Structure 1
Amino acid sequence: MASHVYTPSNSKSYYLRVTIDRKEYRESLRTTSKRVAEKKARERIKDLRGKAERGETDWLFHAGFTVFYESLDQPDEDHGWSDRTRTRYQTSLRQIGVTLMEIFEERGEDIQLVGAWEIGLAEVTEFVALRKDAGVSVATINRDLTAFTHLMAYIKNKKWIEVNPVQLFEKQGMRERLPQIVLPTQEAIARLSERAPGTLTFFPSFLEETGGRITEMAMIKWSDLSGMDRPVEGNVTLTLLNTKGGKVRTITLRQQAIDILLQIPRSNRSPFVFWNKTEDGYYRAAANIFWDYAQEVDFGARMHDLRHKFAIERLKEGWSVYRVQRYIGHGSVKTTERYYFRYLSQEQQEVANADGNVGL
């Protein structure tokens, strides 16, 4: 069993890698414990073999993407692509992978746990929109779509999906449909906070008051904070080091967030704000922990929706879209507009767009 469990170079969590009926699965086991990983792997392999025997499918997009990408390392008589074409497709595929990861991360989901069937027309449309936001040329986007088409055709030929969503996009064009955002109520946030143990009891409210991502906020240390000797709004900043893509950003905390920090007891052993007594010193799997708690207390939303709640409320208060974009760490202001302007009145949109310094 040990051969089926491994840790990728860019992760501390264990992953499963197994081939069943000549089909490969690679997926996160969502644990840093080898003993737990091996137990989960045994259970997962048993489940997969049972599904294979029953003719059921349970295929992850990540697995199909990886196999297709690696197949381009060598010539293949089935497609007959030249070395140059295969290299170009791999370049596009890397961008596709990064952009889809961003799309699902903005929804609070892990791309490595997404089923192949979950990459649909909406995801292809948003992929194109994000590439346009980044200022990429139409020619480059079309090259990316060609590689994307071949990727999804490969997955479709394996019968993991019924329809190639890229071909649907090419027929229909840009008709973007973003998922609806469910904003958690204050009562639901209170229930979730009461359920959480230790310093995590302060975590939901802190996300609500900062708009941060779960992973980046779970790993903040007291040393990342500046100005806590005078804990008033305008004087306290937080430097986020463990962000998506490693892009460090510094935010000035609002008084509500500062007041939460003042309530959190400090540890003599752990440097983390949201600390625990484990060897790591913090809650490494905070997202998984809160997913379980959310089901228990009928949270009615996702933890990631606290980030959306922060952004929408700040825009309604009069923050500029530029300030919100920088504060929450969107790669482009157009992404911020696309996600949140649909929840603003025309007047609120005009205020948000009026000046890049509004609210500073």
Structure 2
Amino acid sequence: MPRNVYTPSNSKNYYLRVTIDGKEHRESLRTTSKRVAEKKARERIKELKGKAERGETDWLFHSGFTGFYESLDHYDEDHGWSANTRKRYQTSLRQIGVTLMEVFEERDENIELAGAWEIDLKSISEFVAMRKDAGASIATINRDLTAFNHLMSHIKNLGWVEMNPVLQFEKKGMKESLPDIVLPTDEAIQKLGRRAPGNLCFFPDFLDATGGRVTEMSMIKWADVKGMGHPVEGHVTLTLRHTKGGKVRTITLRQQAIDILLQIRRSNRSPYVFWNKTEDGYYRSASNLFWDYAQETEFGARLHDIRHKFAIERLMEGWSVYRVQRYIGHGSVKTTERYYFRYLTQEQQVIANADGNIGL
């Protein structure tokens, strides 16, 4: 089977995954036939390459979002919305943009590079869940969904998506269901690391020791690490400056992470911890690289799932939910609870929900 065509564990359909000019495209080929999928994949890749060569930015959700938002600056006879209605929709759209950025950040993906088809039913469900986490009322969420519905109808009318996922969600109701998290084993993480080249062989273990997102950890520099003169837990910190939300945070490294750093050879040419010899100096496409390695080593999960493993294990060993939330960089402690408490016993939840000092 071509490397660009695969079947996710939660779907019978074949999917396309391809990177063109640094942007990853991942979408359903809407067929269970291998032969049809391969043909569709070749045609779609050719189409995407043509768009990239022409510098076209359509089919991106960000492009559709911007076009619809700007159209609300002026009265349009097609919809006939008043100035107050258009202003209210723009307010909701700003909140939609911020929240979707958080949704995609949690997936270790960039909303500005997402195709319109990637805003699916799962994305809408996560949007609603995060608005609830932020304390928004049902009435406010419904107002946001009204604007969201018009936005996705606009994108559907452009021919970029086949179905409006907001309408799908409204038929389903406010019930949210999170997919099961597939937690990689320690053995699988080590096997994945052995497949990686250069100092990337340490990268999966480092994610397991820190719970960091792939992108933010791939861009850390030695200058961001303080206290290695006394490499003992409690004395070494790491400042994360390239988080997708732009919020700089500093964490105290556990001994497991410190021991990994002690094994990494420093480069005279690059300031990055996980460096390479490209003009960027770091592994810009770490997620894509490890996706390929994961198929070869039968990893059975996403590289990003190592982050979930870290959070669940820390909660199980007695860290408070407040500490885990701050450490891994969730925007809300309720998001941490929603993702991980379903994997804890009642006793573990009581400990995690203590006053915030447990494990500190």
The TM-score bracket by the shorter chain reads 0.7 to 0.9
Q: Cα deviations across residues 295-320 of structure 1 (Å, max 9, x unaligned)? A: 22221111100100100110111111
Counterpart of 2:270 in 1: which secondary structure? coil
Equivalence map 1:243-322=2 (5 Å): 243-322=243-322
Shift of the alpha carbon at 1:166?
2.6
Cα distance change on mapping 1:234 and 1:262 into 2, 3 Å? same
Preserved contact between residue 108 and residue 215 of structure 2 (Cα < 8 Å): no
Counterpart of 2:245 in 1: which secondary structure? helix
Q: 1:31 aligns with which of 5, 22, 32?
A: 22
**Partner of residue 81, structure 2:** 81
Q: Cα deviations across residues 96-138 of structure 1 (Å, max 9, x unaligned)? A: 1232232233234443565545534443232122112223344
Shift of the alpha carbon at 1:169?
3.8
**Partner of residue 54, structure 1:** none
Structure 1 stretch 311-320 or stretch 171-180: which is displaced more?
171-180
**Partner of residue 102, structure 1:** 102
Give the distance between the partners of 2:109 and 2:298, measured in 1 at CA: 19
Give the distance between the partners of 1:115 and 1:135, measured in 2 at CA: 29
Cα distance change on mapping 1:288 and 1:172 into 2, 3 Å? closer
Cα distance change on mapping 1:284 and 1:160 into 2, 3 Å? closer
> Which sections of structure 1, spanning at least 5 residues, go unmatched?
1-26, 33-42, 51-57
Give the distance between the partners of 2:231 and 2:203, measured in 1 at CA: 19
**Partner of residue 153, structure 1:** 153
Preserved contact between residue 92 and residue 144 of structure 1 (Cα < 8 Å): yes
RMSD, matched Cα: 2.8
Does residue 209 of structure 2 align to residue 209 of structure 1? yes
Shift of the alpha carbon at 1:62?
4.2
TM-score calculated relative to the size of structure 1 = 0.80
Percent identical:
76
Cα distance change on mapping 1:46 and 1:124 into 2, 3 Å? closer
The residue type equivalent to 2:215 in the other structure is: T
Preserved contact between residue 28 and residue 112 of structure 1 (Cα < 8 Å): no
TM-score calculated relative to the size of structure 2 = 0.80
Q: Cα deviations across residues 217-252 of structure 1 (Å, max 9, x unaligned)? A: 111111111111100011111111111211111111
Shift of the alpha carbon at 1:351?
1.2
After TM superposition, the runs of 4+ consecutive aligned structure 1 residues lying more than 6 A away are: none
Structure 1 stretch 58-67 or stretch 267-276: which is displaced more?
58-67
**Partner of residue 238, structure 1:** 238
**Partner of residue 223, structure 2:** 223
Cα distance change on mapping 1:81 and 1:260 into 2, 3 Å? same
Equivalence map 1:329-348=2 (5 Å): 329-348=329-348
Shift of the alpha carbon at 1:270?
1.4
**Partner of residue 196, structure 1:** 196
Counterpart of 1:244 in 2: which secondary structure? coil
Structure 1 stretch 103-112 or stretch 76-85: which is displaced more?
103-112
The residue type equivalent to 2:101 in the other structure is: M
Structure 1 stretch 290-299 or stretch 198-207: which is displaced more?
290-299
Give the distance between the partners of 1:248 and 1:157, measured in 2 at CA: 39
**Partner of residue 178, structure 2:** 178
Cα distance change on mapping 1:215 and 1:64 into 2, 3 Å? same
Preserved contact between residue 184 and residue 300 of structure 2 (Cα < 8 Å): yes
Preserved contact between residue 59 and residue 115 of structure 2 (Cα < 8 Å): yes
